[in-house]
Amino acid sequence: MTTQFSELPNLNFGLTVKPLHCNIHPTITPNILDHYLRKPEDQGDVVVGTLLGTIDGTQIDIFSSFAVPQFYDPET
């Protein structure tokens, strides 16, 4: 059994939801993957980074990213 979104109740109580359109530059995914693969092995499965881009109404353009180094201390 599948449920269509149109069959779900509207719980926004009068608020309208606008669809967002997101364009991601092709280099973003390899940057994130590279950051994940270069993290220290004792850091765990989480990496932190920043996405840079613009928002114009409902259009989001992500054109750059960079890693944010973090250090995980398992004793704390």
- Whether 7 maps to a domain, the answer reads no
- Whether 2 maps to a domain, the answer reads no
- Domain span at 76: 19-76
pTM for this prediction: 0.62
Number of domains within the chain: 1
The tokens describing 29, both together, are 């995914």
**Number of CB atoms found within 10 A of residue 69's CB:** 11
Angle at the Cα of 37 from the Cα atoms of 31 and 22, rounded to 5 degrees: 30
Q: Tell me the pLDDT tens digit for each residue of 1-59.
A: 555 666 667 676 766 777 889 999 999 999 999 988 988 887 778 888 999 999 998 89
- Whether 11 maps to a domain, the answer reads no
Strand locations in 1-76 (E)? 21-24, 49-56, 59-67
Residue listed under structure tokens 């599948």: 2
